[in-house]
Structures are given as C-alpha cells and as structure tokens.
Amino acid sequence: MTLHLIKQCAVSLCPQVSRTFHSSSELYKVVQYKLSDIGEGIREVTVKGWCVKPEDTVAQFDDICEVESDKATVTITSRYDGRVTKLYHAVGDIALVGHPLVDIDVEEAEGMPEPTQEVDKAVPEEDVKVVKEASVAEGDETWNKSLATPAVRRIAMENKVSIKDVRGSGKHGRVMKEDILEYLKNKHHQLPVGKSQDRTEPMSTLQKVMTKTMTKSQSIPSFLYCDEVDMSKLVQLKKEIKPYLEKKGIKMSYLPFILKALSMSLLEYPILNSTVDESSQTIIYKGVHNIGIAVDSPSGLLVPNIKNVQNLSILQIAKEASRLQEVAIKGNISPGDLAGGTFTVSNVGSVGGTYARPMILPPEVSIVALGKIQTLPRYDHLGNLYPANTLNASHSADHRIIDGPGTYARPRILPPEVSIVALGKIQTLPRYDHLGNLYPANTLNASHSADHRIIDGATVARFTNLWKSYVENPTLLMLGL
C-alpha cells in the first residue's frame, strides 16, 4: 500500500509518472479476483449490489459485493490490498463460481498466489455459454434505458415518452430519432385501454429456485393424506402453562408441540424421514430429524430447518423456531440453516385456510401442511356434543415408497386403469335431517381420481352421486342381487 500512496502523490504532480508506475510489471500487476466456492454445491449467484467501483482502493477483508444464491445472501470480501480496475458484472447479473468478479491492481511485492485453473473448471463450458447468452438477452432492456443522444432524449421528453419503453434500432440497442417517431406513430394507432397495464419483471433468485424445485416436485408421484386433529387438550394445556411461560419471557405457539409430536412419530415410521436414490434403487434412512418450517419472508418462501429435533425439548424447539423465523424475515438466514432438511412442515393455517395440498421438497419424501384451528361441534366417546378445537392436517408423501389411507385422500391412478377411489375413516359428526333436527351422522369422506384425458368432471360427479345414493340407501342394493 506504500507504493500506492507514492503513486497517487506522483499522479497529482505529474500525469506522466502515472503511466510509468502503472506499466512497471515489477511493481504492480492486475489480479482477477474470482468468485470462490461458497459451499453447499452452489455454482452460480446473482449480484445484488456492489460495495466498490472502478478506481476505488480496497484493503483485505473490505466488502466487494453482495451476492444471492438459492441458499442465502452472502457478502464477498477482498483478499487483496490494491485498486479496483474493473467490475465484471452489473447488478442483477449471474456470476459463476470460479469466474472473475473484479480486477484489482495489486503490488507485486504482496506475492499473492495466481488464480488456479482448477477452480475455472468448476463450471462446464456449456453452462458458461448459457449464462452469457442469458445475460446478453436480459441486458437488451438495460441498453435501451441508457443509450440515447441528448437530442433524442429531448424529443422523447417533449412527447412524454419514456426512453426505456422504446426499442432501440441503433448499435448496442441505441434509441434513435426514428425509433421515437415510430413509437409515437404506433401509440396513436393503438386502441384506448385502461390505466392498468401489464408489467414484466425478471424472477428473483428465490422465485427461480421455487420454479426449479416445484417443477421437480411435481414429478414425484405423491399420495395426499388429510385428517382432522382434535386440538382441544393441547389448547387447554397451553392455557395452563401460559403463566409459567410469561414469567420466563417465552412466547409459545402450538408449532413446537406439533414438531415434537412429528419427531416422536418419525421414530416409529422412519421411512417418512428418508430419501430415494433412484440410481442405485435404494432408500436412505436419515439418522437425524432436521424438520423444516416454511417461513413467509419479505424476499419469498424460505424453509430453514430445526436440527436434531429428536434430541430437543419443546422449549428448545420453540426458541430455535423463533430464531429461524426472525433471521429469515430480516434476510440474515445462513446457508447452514437452510441445508440438510429431512422433513418439512408448512403452517399455512397461520395465514389462512383449512386444507392445503403441500408439495414435497426434493430430496425429501414427505411434507405436512397445517390448517387453521377451528371450533366445531363434535361428539365425545359418550355421544355428547361438545365444542372441539380442530385442526386439519394434509400430508403429502412419496407414493413410490410410502402408502396409507386417511380421512381425505388424493389417490394415484394405477395404470392401465383410468380411475381410483380412496375411502376415509367413518366419523360421527353432527348433521341436520330434512326437518332441521340435529342428529349424530356416521359420515365417510370419499376421494375419486379419474383420467382427465378421457373422463370429465361432470361424469365423475354423476357417477359418485349414484354410488353415494346406493351406499346411503343400502336397501337399494337388493335390486342388484
């Protein structure tokens, strides 16, 4: 850094000295600072913002930029003392692991190691080509926003036209006078429309990840299981321990109880805490219960997971769940908090809704969605009606290795068949007869899946109505004997 100070003083006195210092390979050299491997198998990131610009002086551990991956947001720091000479990416660009982020002019005496070629090979050439093409395509709009002469900008301003709305026909997308006139001509011929206009914007990093993950999830042949959970005793327990929790300054929801119950159940049914290795046709049973909790953060849906739930108390689960929700909402979630999940819970009921069809997060094989708690009339074991606190739970499981019935179900058709019916359990629920009198009805929920290529919904409905009439009036079955 001493030589840099001498150089800066010399430049202010005599510009020619600058060329002498800069061209001396014995004193300075330009180093390409490449994006290092940030772990978790991440191969590309989105540049969210720069902390430096060309000609800025940086020291070791100074912030260079902030990047976002499908795991988390990370700040990249400098490993060199020197002067930034070039930025390789604009904000919003994709940066590849092992490829340059910035050029830094450093002192030769620092003896920093040359960038290795091994890292460059971390990303295949075809991937680089795809990313470069995407960057160029996405960059067209950026060029249109900025490239225009003052005269053209004046014409646009006089006609109340935004340059960014005009497609440039000049070099590098430069907006020409003719482009403005053509835009105005076409605008005058357009039919009048309302003030509301369509808006196109690029996907965020999290939205890209959701697209990729959910598309892959859709390929998993899942079995949807739904049931009703009587929360009455848990609601009462929470009321009883509330004074103790308040003295300790602990805020407790129902989620920690549910997560502990799920973990204890996974000990009995470990296949729900596994992954499928299709290449070797094996099932990998996970030794820990890292249960993910879906968090509705400002940047999008995040699923951090609580590690080793099988070894935690309910209070410990509550504290960790609170911490994960807090850092996720603040945008400070770490890659470690997001990695290693083995089972997931979506508490969508905290936002609204009674039932949901959760999508499995690969490579996991199971996910549970919780509805909101409702107070509904139910019968106890003596036949007495009471107000029950109920919660509807929906469970999606990988049907390649997991089976099971429920109250409601979304059964999978077994080829070459075109239809399948799933029957739930029989429940005694309060219902009204044709006179308006309340009576205890024995009800059964049935779900019917049909091949929609050849069978329409109305046909399924009519078939079910006829089948239902036979079951509800069993004496009619005598006609078929």
- Compute how many other C-beta atoms are within 10 angstroms of the C-beta atom of residue 163: 19
Give the DSSP letter of residue 115: P
Q: What is the DSSP string of 189-231?
A: HSPP--S------PPPHHHHHHHHHHHHHHTS-EEEEEEEEE-
Look-up: residue for tokens 């848990």?
234
From CA 358, how far away is CA 355, in angstroms rounded? 9
Tell me the Cα Rg of the chain: 31
Contact 331, 363 (CB under 8 A): no
Contact partners, residue 64, CB within 8 Å, separation at least 6: 33, 50, 51, 52, 58, 76, 77, 78, 101, 102
**Paired tokens of 148:** 């225009």
Q: Which two tokens stand for residue 155?
A: 């014409």
Query: Which listed residue (56, 296, 399, 448) is catalytic?
Result: 399
Spatial neighbors of 360 by CB under 8 A, at least 6 apart, are 217, 220, 222, 366, 367, 396, 397, 398
Q: Let me know if 227 is a catalytic residue.
A: no
Q: Is 89 a catalytic residue?
A: no
Task: List residues bridging with 222 in a β-sheet.
Answer: 398
358 conformational bin, left if phi > 0, alpha if psi -120 to 50, beta if neither: beta
* Catalytic residue from among 37, 127, 165, 403: 403
Within 8 A by CB and 6+ apart from 226, the residues are: 355, 392, 393, 394, 395, 406, 407, 408, 409
Q: Are 19 and 51 in contact (CB under 8 A)?
A: no
Active site residues: 399, 403
